Amino acid sequence: METGALHKLIDLRFKPSKSDTSLFIFQECGVTIYMLIYVDDIIVTSSSEKDIEALLNDLRKNFALKDLGDLHYFLGIEVKRNKDELLLFQKNYQGMKENLLMKNATLYHALTDIHWTAVKRIIKYIKYTIDLGLRIQKSDSTLLSICSDVDCLRSIYNRKSIGGFPEYCDPNLVFWSSRKQPMESRSSTEAQNKSTANATTETIWLESHLFVGKSCVPYRAKYIEIDFHFVRNRFINKQLQVRLISVKDQVADGFTKALSAKKL
Protein backbone atom coordinates (compact mmCIF):
# COMPACT_ATOMS: atom_id res chain seq x y z
CA MET A 1 0.00 0.00 0.00
CA GLU A 2 1.32 3.47 -0.93
CA THR A 3 2.46 5.75 1.88
CA GLY A 4 0.22 8.55 0.65
CA ALA A 5 -2.88 6.37 0.80
CA LEU A 6 -1.96 5.17 4.29
CA HIS A 7 -1.51 8.73 5.55
CA LYS A 8 -4.83 9.73 4.01
CA LEU A 9 -6.71 6.93 5.78
CA ILE A 10 -5.04 7.83 9.08
CA ASP A 11 -6.07 11.45 8.56
CA LEU A 12 -9.63 10.22 8.07
CA ARG A 13 -9.29 8.46 11.48
CA PHE A 14 -9.14 4.92 10.10
CA LYS A 15 -7.18 2.43 12.20
CA PRO A 16 -5.29 -0.57 10.76
CA SER A 17 -6.44 -3.98 11.94
CA LYS A 18 -4.03 -5.86 14.21
CA SER A 19 -4.76 -9.13 12.42
CA ASP A 20 -4.72 -7.99 8.78
CA THR A 21 -2.51 -5.18 7.51
CA SER A 22 -4.81 -4.75 4.50
CA LEU A 23 -7.89 -4.00 6.63
CA PHE A 24 -8.70 -0.52 7.95
CA ILE A 25 -11.54 0.25 10.34
CA PHE A 26 -13.39 3.47 11.15
CA GLN A 27 -15.61 3.58 14.25
CA GLU A 28 -17.10 6.87 15.41
CA CYS A 29 -20.52 8.25 16.38
CA GLY A 30 -22.26 4.92 15.81
CA VAL A 31 -20.83 4.57 12.29
CA THR A 32 -18.57 1.66 11.33
CA ILE A 33 -16.69 1.46 8.02
CA TYR A 34 -14.46 -1.41 6.90
CA MET A 35 -12.02 -0.90 4.02
CA LEU A 36 -10.04 -3.84 2.65
CA ILE A 37 -7.20 -2.90 0.29
CA TYR A 38 -5.13 -5.24 -1.86
CA VAL A 39 -2.83 -3.39 -4.29
CA ASP A 40 -5.39 -1.44 -6.38
CA ASP A 41 -8.48 -3.48 -5.46
CA ILE A 42 -10.65 -2.09 -2.66
CA ILE A 43 -13.75 -3.32 -0.81
CA VAL A 44 -15.69 -0.81 1.29
CA THR A 45 -18.64 -1.71 3.48
CA SER A 46 -20.39 0.24 6.19
CA SER A 47 -23.46 0.52 8.37
CA SER A 48 -24.32 3.67 6.41
CA GLU A 49 -24.51 4.05 2.61
CA LYS A 50 -24.28 7.82 2.99
CA ASP A 51 -20.95 7.55 4.81
CA ILE A 52 -19.54 5.25 2.12
CA GLU A 53 -20.33 7.84 -0.55
CA ALA A 54 -18.81 10.61 1.60
CA LEU A 55 -15.66 8.55 2.07
CA LEU A 56 -15.29 7.83 -1.66
CA ASN A 57 -15.79 11.51 -2.52
CA ASP A 58 -13.10 12.45 -0.04
CA LEU A 59 -10.65 9.89 -1.46
CA ARG A 60 -11.32 11.06 -5.04
CA LYS A 61 -9.78 14.40 -4.13
CA ASN A 62 -6.38 12.72 -3.88
CA PHE A 63 -6.67 9.48 -5.84
CA ALA A 64 -8.17 8.23 -9.10
CA LEU A 65 -11.01 5.92 -8.05
CA LYS A 66 -13.53 3.99 -10.10
CA ASP A 67 -16.66 2.84 -8.32
CA LEU A 68 -17.66 -0.60 -9.70
CA GLY A 69 -20.87 -0.75 -7.66
CA ASP A 70 -21.87 -3.85 -5.74
CA LEU A 71 -19.17 -6.44 -5.12
CA HIS A 72 -19.01 -9.16 -7.80
CA TYR A 73 -15.34 -10.27 -7.95
CA PHE A 74 -12.39 -9.86 -5.61
CA LEU A 75 -9.04 -11.68 -5.88
CA GLY A 76 -10.54 -14.52 -7.91
CA ILE A 77 -13.58 -14.91 -5.66
CA GLU A 78 -16.98 -14.53 -7.29
CA VAL A 79 -19.68 -12.94 -5.13
CA LYS A 80 -23.39 -13.43 -5.72
CA ARG A 81 -26.19 -11.74 -3.78
CA ASN A 82 -29.33 -13.65 -2.91
CA LYS A 83 -31.84 -11.82 -0.72
CA ASP A 84 -30.21 -11.55 2.73
CA GLU A 85 -27.11 -13.60 1.97
CA LEU A 86 -23.90 -13.62 -0.02
CA LEU A 87 -22.59 -16.64 -1.93
CA LEU A 88 -18.84 -16.90 -2.50
CA PHE A 89 -17.44 -19.07 -5.31
CA GLN A 90 -13.98 -19.80 -6.75
CA LYS A 91 -14.93 -21.38 -10.08
CA ASN A 92 -12.34 -19.47 -12.11
CA TYR A 93 -9.58 -20.18 -9.59
CA GLN A 94 -10.45 -23.87 -9.45
CA GLY A 95 -10.27 -24.13 -13.24
CA MET A 96 -6.85 -22.50 -13.20
CA LYS A 97 -5.64 -24.97 -10.55
CA GLU A 98 -6.79 -27.94 -12.63
CA ASN A 99 -5.04 -26.70 -15.80
CA LEU A 100 -1.84 -25.88 -13.89
CA LEU A 101 -1.89 -29.25 -12.18
CA MET A 102 -2.14 -31.15 -15.47
CA LYS A 103 0.50 -28.97 -17.14
CA ASN A 104 3.03 -29.56 -14.35
CA ALA A 105 2.22 -33.26 -14.11
CA THR A 106 3.12 -33.83 -17.79
CA LEU A 107 6.56 -32.26 -17.26
CA TYR A 108 7.73 -35.08 -15.03
CA HIS A 109 8.51 -38.43 -16.63
CA ALA A 110 9.36 -40.19 -13.36
CA LEU A 111 5.78 -40.10 -12.04
CA THR A 112 4.54 -43.44 -10.78
CA ASP A 113 1.03 -44.84 -10.68
CA ILE A 114 0.77 -43.61 -7.09
CA HIS A 115 1.47 -40.03 -8.21
CA TRP A 116 -1.02 -40.20 -11.07
CA THR A 117 -3.67 -41.63 -8.75
CA ALA A 118 -3.14 -38.66 -6.42
CA VAL A 119 -3.35 -36.20 -9.34
CA LYS A 120 -6.56 -37.74 -10.66
CA ARG A 121 -8.05 -37.71 -7.16
CA ILE A 122 -7.39 -33.97 -6.87
CA ILE A 123 -8.87 -33.26 -10.31
CA LYS A 124 -11.91 -35.36 -9.47
CA TYR A 125 -12.38 -33.41 -6.25
CA ILE A 126 -12.17 -30.09 -8.12
CA LYS A 127 -14.65 -31.30 -10.75
CA TYR A 128 -17.34 -32.37 -8.29
CA THR A 129 -16.97 -29.42 -5.90
CA ILE A 130 -16.63 -26.59 -8.43
CA ASP A 131 -20.24 -25.47 -7.89
CA LEU A 132 -19.94 -25.47 -4.11
CA GLY A 133 -19.54 -22.12 -2.38
CA LEU A 134 -19.53 -20.38 0.95
CA ARG A 135 -22.79 -18.89 2.20
CA ILE A 136 -22.70 -15.75 4.36
CA GLN A 137 -26.09 -14.98 5.94
CA LYS A 138 -27.28 -11.91 7.79
CA SER A 139 -27.53 -12.56 11.51
CA ASP A 140 -27.87 -10.51 14.70
CA SER A 141 -26.07 -13.15 16.73
CA THR A 142 -22.30 -13.21 17.33
CA LEU A 143 -22.28 -16.66 18.92
CA LEU A 144 -19.04 -18.49 18.10
CA SER A 145 -19.07 -22.28 17.76
CA ILE A 146 -16.37 -24.70 16.71
CA CYS A 147 -16.20 -28.43 15.96
CA SER A 148 -12.83 -29.99 16.73
CA ASP A 149 -11.64 -33.39 15.58
CA VAL A 150 -8.36 -35.26 15.27
CA ASP A 151 -7.23 -38.25 13.22
CA CYS A 152 -4.70 -39.89 15.53
CA LEU A 153 -1.37 -41.12 14.12
CA ARG A 154 -2.59 -40.42 10.61
CA SER A 155 0.75 -39.85 8.89
CA ILE A 156 2.38 -43.11 7.82
CA TYR A 157 5.76 -41.36 7.62
CA ASN A 158 6.11 -39.91 11.13
CA ARG A 159 2.88 -40.94 12.90
CA LYS A 160 1.87 -37.38 13.66
CA SER A 161 -1.84 -36.73 14.13
CA ILE A 162 -3.90 -34.41 11.95
CA GLY A 163 -6.19 -31.96 13.73
CA GLY A 164 -8.89 -29.90 12.13
CA PHE A 165 -11.88 -27.72 12.87
CA PRO A 166 -14.42 -25.39 11.26
CA GLU A 167 -15.44 -22.27 13.19
CA TYR A 168 -18.81 -20.56 12.87
CA CYS A 169 -20.13 -17.15 13.82
CA ASP A 170 -23.76 -18.14 14.34
CA PRO A 171 -24.67 -19.80 10.98
CA ASN A 172 -21.67 -18.56 9.02
CA LEU A 173 -18.44 -20.48 8.47
CA VAL A 174 -15.72 -17.86 9.07
CA PHE A 175 -12.57 -19.89 9.70
CA TRP A 176 -11.27 -23.43 9.26
CA SER A 177 -8.04 -25.30 9.76
CA SER A 178 -6.54 -28.65 8.85
CA ARG A 179 -2.96 -29.25 9.85
CA LYS A 180 -0.55 -31.87 11.07
CA GLN A 181 0.32 -31.53 14.75
CA PRO A 182 3.97 -30.46 15.25
CA MET A 183 4.79 -33.25 17.71
CA GLU A 184 3.92 -36.91 17.93
CA SER A 185 1.27 -37.84 20.50
CA ARG A 186 1.71 -40.84 22.73
CA SER A 187 -2.03 -41.38 23.04
CA SER A 188 -5.29 -40.37 21.43
CA THR A 189 -6.09 -38.37 24.59
CA GLU A 190 -2.99 -36.24 24.13
CA ALA A 191 -3.82 -35.66 20.46
CA GLN A 192 -7.42 -34.70 21.33
CA ASN A 193 -6.23 -32.30 24.03
CA LYS A 194 -3.89 -30.60 21.57
CA SER A 195 -6.61 -30.30 18.95
CA THR A 196 -9.15 -28.89 21.42
CA ALA A 197 -6.60 -26.41 22.80
CA ASN A 198 -5.71 -25.23 19.27
CA ALA A 199 -9.38 -24.77 18.43
CA THR A 200 -9.95 -22.84 21.67
CA THR A 201 -6.99 -20.59 20.91
CA GLU A 202 -8.42 -19.71 17.50
CA THR A 203 -11.79 -18.97 19.10
CA ILE A 204 -10.18 -16.57 21.57
CA TRP A 205 -8.30 -14.88 18.72
CA LEU A 206 -11.47 -14.41 16.69
CA GLU A 207 -13.41 -13.30 19.76
CA SER A 208 -10.83 -10.58 20.48
CA HIS A 209 -11.32 -9.14 17.01
CA LEU A 210 -15.09 -9.43 16.94
CA PHE A 211 -15.62 -7.80 20.31
CA VAL A 212 -12.87 -5.07 20.36
CA GLY A 213 -11.81 -7.64 23.26
CA LYS A 214 3.25 -24.12 36.77
CA SER A 215 2.62 -27.55 36.85
CA CYS A 216 5.54 -29.74 38.08
CA VAL A 217 5.14 -32.67 35.71
CA PRO A 218 7.90 -33.93 33.41
CA TYR A 219 8.46 -33.48 29.69
CA ARG A 220 5.58 -34.33 27.39
CA ALA A 221 3.02 -34.84 30.16
CA LYS A 222 3.52 -31.19 31.02
CA TYR A 223 2.06 -30.11 27.69
CA ILE A 224 -0.88 -32.46 28.08
CA GLU A 225 -1.71 -30.83 31.39
CA ILE A 226 -1.27 -27.31 29.99
CA ASP A 227 -3.67 -28.05 27.14
CA PHE A 228 -6.15 -29.67 29.52
CA HIS A 229 -6.17 -26.82 32.04
CA PHE A 230 -6.20 -24.19 29.31
CA VAL A 231 -9.53 -25.52 28.04
CA ARG A 232 -10.79 -26.44 31.53
CA ASN A 233 -10.31 -22.91 32.91
CA ARG A 234 -12.25 -21.39 30.03
CA PHE A 235 -15.02 -23.91 30.68
CA ILE A 236 -15.16 -23.21 34.43
CA ASN A 237 -15.33 -19.45 33.82
CA LYS A 238 -18.26 -20.06 31.44
CA GLN A 239 -16.30 -18.64 28.51
CA LEU A 240 -16.51 -21.92 26.64
CA GLN A 241 -19.00 -24.77 26.29
CA VAL A 242 -17.74 -28.25 25.47
CA ARG A 243 -20.13 -30.81 24.01
CA LEU A 244 -19.72 -34.30 22.61
CA ILE A 245 -20.59 -34.65 18.93
CA SER A 246 -21.50 -38.03 17.45
CA VAL A 247 -19.43 -39.40 14.58
CA LYS A 248 -22.25 -39.05 12.05
CA ASP A 249 -22.73 -35.36 12.94
CA GLN A 250 -19.03 -34.41 13.14
CA VAL A 251 -18.55 -31.75 10.45
CA ALA A 252 -14.83 -31.52 11.29
CA ASP A 253 -14.20 -34.96 9.74
CA GLY A 254 -13.56 -33.35 6.37
CA PHE A 255 -10.60 -31.45 7.85
CA THR A 256 -8.84 -34.51 9.27
CA LYS A 257 -9.42 -37.34 6.79
CA ALA A 258 -10.56 -38.11 3.25
CA LEU A 259 -14.32 -38.42 2.92
CA SER A 260 -16.31 -40.61 0.58
CA ALA A 261 -18.36 -38.92 -2.15
CA LYS A 262 -21.55 -40.00 -0.38
CA LYS A 263 -20.58 -38.33 2.90
CA LEU A 264 -19.29 -35.24 1.11
pLDDT by residue (tens digit) across 9-30? 888 888 888 777 788 888 888 8
Is 204 in the same domain as 244?
yes
Q: Do 153 and 207 reside in the same domain of the chain?
A: yes
CATH assignment of the domain containing 35:
3.30.310
For residue 82, is it within any domain?
A: no
Contacts of residue 204, Cβ cutoff 8 Å, sequence gap at least 6? 234
SS3 65: coil
37-56 pLDDT, tens per residue?
887 788 898 888 888 888 88
CA dihedral 227, 219, 151, 207 (to 10 degrees): 20
In this prediction, residue 218 carries a pLDDT of 34
Mean pLDDT (whole number) for 226-235: 66
- Sign of dihedral through CA atoms 180, 182, 188, 190? negative
166 and 250 within one domain: yes
Average pLDDT, the chain: 76
- Torsion sign over Cα 163, 167, 171, 172: negative
Q: Are residues 154 and 211 in the same domain?
A: yes
The domain tally of the chain equals 3
Is the pTM of the predicted complex or chain greater than 0.85? no
Range of the domain at 61: 3-69
pLDDT digits (tens, 9 = 90+) for 162-205: 888 888 888 888 888 888 877 777 777 777 777 888 888 888 77
- Residue 64 CA, chain-centre distance (Å), reads 32
Statement to judge: residues 179 and 203 lie in one domain: yes
Nearest to 258 by CA among 143, 139, 178, 173: 178
Q: Is residue 263 part of a domain?
A: no
